[in-house]
Structure 1
């Protein structure tokens, strides 16, 4: 496959990122199961492909792929946890779905000191996970992910096929699904044990390319401790059945990593479309489309900082938030040198929410909840340029106190139909650039400064043709 483009201009990922290539296959594994209407037959729930897929990954030569292919009308694979290997690609062909097993026992963490039987349960006696950062649980154990990418380099997951975590489905031997368990744990902020779809740690050079991800039981992609991660033309849709409740099914969540690019992808999720966790620097989010979900988020954990982010060419269509930075005094830290530009939104409840008031809700409140803590959110050097929301929504720009003022530049920012009472904030300084903004801060305590040369009437950034159906 010919490289289509190179992403380098003004990117905050320091790498020269090009469109990935699908490698040749070391082995082709034929499907032995048949899904109908994207569902497996109950009789096939015990027919696992885990062993043969894992054996192929273990023996494949670096630089080649284990290919899952349709065969004689069969189009499905069923697996428990899989472990990627250095330099090896898992290639899911078009028309093929790799389903995650519904058997919680398969995902149980193994090893000395692990408590069995936790996966698929709520830890009723564990400390609440909010508002304080998650504490080390009193017991060890839980769930392994469907796909682990641990301590390897240059692994990849590619193809025009689907990986489906089946979060909607009842856990075998239980009367509830993974998603129902997540919602049941919410009122008391209880810890619960569920597998994530793809978890990478110390996985330099990881690539996701053209793959479709559906219905993860929890986060779809979690990447930590990694230098160099690329997600290109990823299609993520959860829940696939509208109206289902898919709590905590974030799209792509990097943390404690550097040199990250997420490009040309389509994300419609049950939680944050992208959530940048603490310790991330030098990241580019380029030419993506978001649909249902909580938007382009940073946080809520920011205690080790997030810095040097570029979001360019994003379209957000019916997300709850647009540009979202969320934290509070139990989990905050320095967030700085962020550039958001060329962004189009519509039907977004909170087009801009820069908040030290996070309360574990879908959208931010406009007042300090009064939590106690010494991890202080501090937001500086944030530029928002050429951003248009074609429908009205609330804007929040706030700092914690006068010693930790949020500093933002708005340059060509327009929220059509917004009223002064929809603009909220305090302990913040907003610099208005040459292309201006239609946000009226007169009912806030925000300090507004005009940049040198500001005040001209410039033509608004155009969103013509940007809103297209999910692909």
Structure 2
């Protein structure tokens, strides 16, 4: 991928409108009276064409790693493959010294310093740790070729008073994240080598937990089979941490979500997430209660949503996801929690492949997806998907207000949604799209512009849909469609392989 430094100025809103009366008259010349009446009735009831989303209100450029190193740390650990000896696995040897450096280097103002992890030599490139907290103004910086391994001892993650970490139970919340971000102007970053190597964080979700024959990922599968909940640690969680940066870092094999962010100002750039499509509940990046977010130039492979913008306890808005590539995920998504609202989200120039780099398909192979239900619904407004390329997916376009048959008193309402430029190829057998609004009072408000799907089967109800150069024209109970004016064309698509790590 290109590493050139560039500043991104977000596009100004484009003007789209319904066909004028004169244009409509010219287009319908020669139609029968009955056909004209039918067309007029459909056109009259269609939703307005949405104003395109503009996304992050910041001007965002490619980050750079900090030049001031507060605390350099050198590896003293020799790993056998991806595991250490029993004593080191029981009490991860680097937790205390990394945390002491982080505690020492916390900033009180707007400054930023690095706690840098480096190799001692070719045989000592690893650090093994339990949970860490990154404070204000700190960047946890990994040198190229260095791996930070997460503990396989569930006791090191235990949250007091909660279910036992590393078990399946009727409740969750028993595990601390591996890395907690607890202050503004912080980061988790790596030095990128001239050959493309990056520092890495490995959650080891595929390896047996200490003293057991059970992995973090098998716990997730067991929880699903039993109808219970897993107690697995997330990899990185930023709690109300403004101006957080992920840069040129590899995140692999997380036991649960890779990145969960709340706050104002989040940049993820050059991030490579690699976890199999078969690893349950391993979301890539989840902005939740987040404002002003840019996710760019990244490669994301995991066993759940590649991106999941959530608006649960707090609203999410002003979000841009661009120039990124997804593999085997459950989609480029919004939801399912939208109680507090989601607005002004721009997805631009992204590709999605329905299988991971090993050829595994995920449990729900989606492309573009907005999902919620009366159990946790709210308003999702002004969302734009520009120039999206899909291949090998089963559900190309999903707009579902009845996700997982959730019930409750909330109102999932998706409106001012624009899909402009999407192509699907190689869709799997039985591929189908979903266009389902809640009811006649809260219909799906959607525009499909420059759409070419190789599988045009669908389910649709309660939707007002504007169409321009689209090879799919949904119909069904409560569904109306109308022509809109537009420009541009269906994108030409290529799908890059996941880069070697």
Shorter-chain TM-score bucket reads 0.7 to 0.9
Bigger relative contact order (CA 8 A; separation at least 6): 2
Which residue number in structure 1 is paired with residue 264 of structure 2? 227
Which residue number in structure 2 is paired with residue 364 of structure 1? none
Taking the TM superposition and a 5 Å limit, the aligned residue runs for 1:69-468 are: 69-72=118-121, 73-110=123-160, 114-115=161-162, 118-124=164-170, 126=171, 142-150=174-182, 152-159=183-190, 160-224=198-262, 226-239=263-276, 245-278=278-311, 279-318=315-354, 320-359=365-404, 369=405, 371-392=406-427, 393-416=431-454, 418-419=455-456, 422-433=457-468, 436-442=469-475, 446-451=479-484, 453=485, 459-463=489-493, 466-468=494-496
- Cα distance in 1 between the residues matched to 2:412 and 2:112: 43
The answer to whether the 8 A contact 2:289-2:310 is kept is: yes
3-state DSSP class of the match of 2:225?
coil
Higher Rg of the two aligned structures: 2
The answer to whether the 8 A contact 2:178-2:233 is kept is: yes
1:177 Cα shift?
1.4
1:41 Cα shift?
5.0
- Cα distance in 1 between the residues matched to 2:489 and 2:304: 34
The answer to whether the 8 A contact 2:467-2:473 is kept is: no
The answer to whether the 8 A contact 1:3-1:18 is kept is: no
- Cα distance in 2 between the residues matched to 1:106 and 1:64: 27
- Cα distance in 1 between the residues matched to 2:166 and 2:298: 30
1:389 Cα shift?
0.9
1:441 Cα shift?
2.5
- Cα distance in 2 between the residues matched to 1:147 and 1:221: 10
- Cα distance in 1 between the residues matched to 2:92 and 2:480: 63
1:16 aligns with 2:48: no
Q: TM-score, normalised by structure 1?
A: 0.86
Q: TM-score, normalised by structure 2?
A: 0.81
The answer to whether the 8 A contact 2:344-2:382 is kept is: yes
Q: Which runs of 5+ in 2 are unaligned?
A: 12-53, 191-197, 356-364
Farther-moved stretch of structure 1 (313-322 vs 263-272): 313-322
1:469 aligns with 2:500: no
1:232 Cα shift?
0.5
The answer to whether the 8 A contact 1:97-1:163 is kept is: yes
1:169 Cα shift?
1.7
The number of equivalent residue pairs is 426
Deviations 1:134-159 (CA, angstroms, capped at 9, x unpaired): xxx8xxx6111100112x11000100
Which residue number in structure 1 is paired with residue 94 of structure 2? 49
Q: Assess, with a 3 A threshold, how the Cα gap between structure 1 residues 459 and 106 changes in structure 2: closer, same or farther.
A: closer
The answer to whether the 8 A contact 1:349-1:394 is kept is: yes
Q: Which runs of 5+ in 1 are unaligned?
A: 127-136, 360-368
Q: Assess, with a 3 A threshold, how the Cα gap between structure 1 residues 27 and 3 changes in structure 2: closer, same or farther.
A: farther
Cα root mean square deviation, aligned: 2.0
3-state DSSP class of the match of 2:422?
strand
- Cα distance in 2 between the residues matched to 1:121 and 1:390: 41
